[in-house]
Amino acid sequence: MDIIFLGGLEIDTVIGIYDWERGKRQTVILDIEMAFDIKKAAETDDINYALDYKTVSDRIIAFVKGSQFFLVERLISEIADLIRMEFNVPWVKITLNKKGAIGSGIDVGIIIERGEKKP
């Protein structure tokens, strides 16, 4: 299976359990890998057979900006579900980095995989 990726996608959102987190937007950084068979797109040179990463990116940005979850666990799970359902992606791996959540310059976050990566 081929992998299409979005790396370093920075999005401001309301995320966190503390009062001070609820009153301001914080940046989450997403790295996303998506399994997608690109064979037909490569053969035809036709966008209709490709996973349009601009459309995927725009949808994720809109979703995350509009969200107000308490836990990054919920946010990352919702993003994975969105990608798999709306873009017919059988497998996705997402790294969510909430940089600075526990101290200046410290990376903290979650990595999840959903679905099956087929050969």
- Catalytic entry in 98, 99, 117, 118: 98
Integer Cα distance of 58 and 73 in angstroms: 21
Exposure b/e, 90-103, CB count within 10 A at least 16 = b: ebbbbbbbbbebee
Whether 54 is catalytic is no
Alpha helices in the chain (DSSP H): 19-22, 39-44, 53-66, 72-86
Q: Which residues are catalytic?
A: 98
